[in-house]
Structure 1
């Protein structure tokens, strides 16, 4: 399942995009190619908490992009929940993409958490432009995907995995303003789940 096939139906040349967990840089590269195309306009804000992820992303972009295209990327060593500190106030963002879990080929003990992911989703909702998309890949077949988050009220105690946090967030978005769906392989229960939140 390739999420950037969906992105192409939303992203336009010259748009501003956010790669909230840039990892090894593949999504960042795809984003730059989408916004740059013929004009070399647009902006991609890519971030990660791991130094090695930023180094891997920089190396890939340095190899694959032209000098003009490289100017469209801003790399930041910051948690995805703080994306509003990176994206300038008032900039309409067309796409915010998340890959939740651990860095492929990296330290599997360093994972995204339900708490920071929920804050990041709230931030993405605030900066997303109308006709924009929040794209989320949740890797559920590893300890990061099973990170627990406690929510307490006077009646119940819920133990939610990171995917459940994402699903709960999406389920509460108003239907008049959002179209929300998830895609998963029924015969591969531990395969990544794709979640798309489209803002009308």
Structure 2
């Protein structure tokens, strides 16, 4: 999966809608990551048959419609995160992303931490319940649940925290009030904060739901933000189903 990640990055300024098959790092050039490289498979001179098989399976799964954008996102997260890392769930909703992140980074020694945010108390409680039902971890050692807008993450996350990944699910709370949605006016400050707190070699993952009023406007704001990030330090792409206009769109922003 690691090689899939690095072959996929292309600028959102490109007219291509399905941005897959970008630069082939395993064949050309040197690793753009800092000396602490977490992605040996991506930087090796050749890819193993197993890695190539997983890469092709993931691509085909999404292209054929058998794999959801959320599943693709989680596979990409796995290629970024290691045990003991710190991550942020900017919109925890019903807790499924927080749980996925926790499973990727929590280790037996008490390392690994997730900062989770939502503006709805029902979302915080749903996340808490799901985590308590799904894991035996002492949650207070591994996650902080904040009833707070994602634009306020820097009020909670310590300045010295090394954040490897920040995940957004933009839209409304599944099963909740569809009148309460994320909006560009708070999402853009949250993305600006994310660009500051995410460490080099880290990722901002944004799943944008567009099938509700305001969804397309928020997507446009996200794309404009991503397109204006400097190419020297960011690489940005999106996955979009062109003949399913209401399907969620996955935007990935990699910090070099």
Name the structure 2 match of 1:73.
143
Q: Does the alignment pair 1:191 with 2:237?
A: no
- Of 100, 112, 132 in structure 2, the residue corresponding to residue 62 of structure 1 is 132
How big is the shift at 1:70? 5.2
Deviation string for 1:173-199 (max 9, x for gaps)?
111111100001112111000000000
CA distance in 2, matches of 1:78, 1:192: 24
Q: Which runs of 5+ in 1 are unaligned?
A: 147-160
Shift of 1:36: 1.1
Q: Which residue of 2 aligns with 1:4?
A: 74
Over aligned residues, Cα RMSD in angstroms? Answer: 1.1
Q: Take 2:225 and 2:190, find their aligned partners in 1: how far apart are those partners?
A: 11
Shift of 1:121: 0.1
Distance 1:48 1:169 in 2: 22
Is 1:171 the counterpart of 2:227 in the alignment? yes
Aligned to 1:104: 174
TM-score, L = length of structure 2 = 0.71
Unaligned ranges ≥5, structure 2:
1-68
**Residues 154-187 of structure 1: CA deviation (Å, up to 9, x unaligned):** xxxxxxx110110000001111111100001112
**Which has more helix, going by share of residues?**
2
Distance 1:95 1:9, change over 3 A: same
- List structure 1 segments (4+ residues) > 4 angstroms apart after TM superposition: none
Aligned match for 1:17, one of 60, 84, 87: 87
Q: How many residues align?
A: 186
Alignment check: 8 A CA contact 1:45 1:73 kept: yes
Q: Partners in 2 of 1:68 and 1:105 — Cα distance?
A: 28
Q: Which has the larger radius of gyration?
A: 2
- How big is the shift at 1:75? 0.2
1:152 alignment partner in structure 2: none
Deviations 1:123-151 (A, max 9, x none): 000101000000000001111414xxxxx
Moved more, 128-137 or 181-190: 181-190
Give, in whole Å, the separation in 1 of the partners of 2:140 and 2:150: 21
Shift of residue 41 of structure 1?
Answer: 1.2
- The separation in 1 between residues aligned to 2:137 and 2:233, in whole angstroms, is 39
Query: Residue 142 in 1 paired to residue 198 in 2?
Result: no
Structure number with higher strand proportion: 1
